[in-house]
Structure 1
């Protein structure tokens, strides 16, 4: 899979918002969806927050981290820096050059400009892939998620984990939003596959797909990729539909069972063909 082009400076709305917040300027980014909705984000300041200010489900997720860590979409490095301080070997990657620069200024030792599709064989040996901050969305689509999960399976340790976060897209009463979900489905897209762009001042990102999924949809995406969902960690707020998923590599026994079933099915077909 070809690596996505990193954003130019005039497209780095995300990075400029983070940088301005880092140097003490108040800043808020706008997220525009293709169906016309425009909303103000929680603000780049959230990307600089410390552990004590994280939602409880993200704090709980830290207990599942093990081995070398790859933080995909690391932003300003809040999760990577926390784990680095705890003694973990962490590599952060982000498509935003300015966000990566802020990570360096904040003391993250290993960080580089790279997209999720740029992760390859040079990234082998990780025990945990971290995708918090709704970063399951970076998979973009059902098909791309499947391909990338299979790639992650090849380059990670035998007992590796993916710790990721998403939001159930169906927990809404906004008629225009629900109509958009239906329109996506008619177009052969996942309902929660939102086409969005980020604006900050004069900086505007290109349009890109960001994927929100229900738990059932995530299970369907993970199926047959070599991974399985071990646990969901729900938000402490019952009104909130955000959740963390702890995904682990399937055990060899499970893989053998599937392989054995396929072999038996092929054998049955062969016998039937001979009759």
Structure 2
């Protein structure tokens, strides 16, 4: 089964411990993610995520819900949340944790329902994979929004990773494409998954949102070049 995230989440949930997930990219190697991070409670969440959960309203679709940490907080606050996750193992864990509304699906295959808030956290923009892929994602999310609905999405500007001390860049931005388009590989034990992953700066997100019919407002800016944005359909 090619599901490192779901396998790790299930093992941690059942045993109380699991090896870290190992992330490699075309820019970095062997970055570790503790599986416990997917089980953080409201107090353990960064301020950006707390802000996003405060902004949620109405019926909520939590996209890429993983172990359901955000959905659980919302549900405990008596909010109407549906957790969508493509990993069957992760959804199995969410159900056992008591999350009432879950859907096993790739977001691109999900349709036929509408929500007041669509929530994409933990670098939710990354799901797009590339800038053009993010456009495709936003076009797909549009009909899933009720009138007056909102998309809450986060990402980071990772340009600082490529800057030298003198301010020059060690990659050629003119020829290498957008620096935030990355190739990821995630490994848990002997289970591996490879995919494209996007980090997008706010200005480019705003431009991409406008091109897909959304207005885009920055709602929070973190200390590490991360930010939360709210997208609403232009009337």
Q: Do they fold alike, i.e. is TM over 0.5?
A: yes
- Larger-gyration structure (1/2): 1
Show the counterpart of 1:202: 190
Deviation at 1:144, TM superposition (A): 2.1
Q: How does 1:75-90 map to 2 (within 5 A)?
A: 75-90=66-81
Relative to its length, the structure with more strand (as a share) is: 2
Output the TM-score relative to the length of structure 1: 0.78
Q: Does the alignment pair 1:217 with 2:204?
A: yes
- Is residue 138 from structure 1 mapped to residue 130 from structure 2 by the alignment? no
Q: Tell me the CA shift for residue 173 of structure 1.
A: 5.1
Q: Is 1:245 aligned to 2:229, yes or no?
A: yes
Distance in 1 (alpha carbons) for counterparts of 2:23 and 2:172: 21
Q: What is the Cα-based RMSD across aligned positions, in Å?
A: 1.9
TM-score between both structures, scaled by the size of structure 2: 0.90
Name the SS for the 1:103 alignment partner.
helix
Specify every segment of 5 or more residues in structure 1 that has no aligned partner in the other structure, as ranges: 1-8, 253-275
Matches within 5 A, 1:137-216: 137-172=126-161, 179=170, 182=172, 186=175, 189-205=177-193, 207-216=194-203
- Runs of 5+ unmatched residues, structure 2: none
The runs of 4+ residues in structure 1 deviating greater than 2 Å are 34-38
Q: Which moved more, 1:153-162 or 1:74-83?
A: 153-162
Cα offsets for 1:82-101 (capped at 9, x unmatched): 11111222111112221111
**Closer, same or farther: CA 36–51 of 1 in aligned 2, 3 Å:** closer
Alignment partner of 1:101 out of 63, 70, 92: 92
SS of aligned partner of 2:229 = strand
Q: Which has the higher helix share?
A: 1
Figure out how many residues of one structure are paired with residues of the other and give that number.
Answer: 230
Counterpart CA distance in 1 for 2:45 and 2:122 is 10
* Alpha-carbon offset, residue 35 of structure 1: 4.7
Which secondary structure state, in structure 1, belongs to the residue aligned with residue 231 of structure 2? strand
Q: 1:182 to 1:97 in 2, by over 3 A?
A: farther
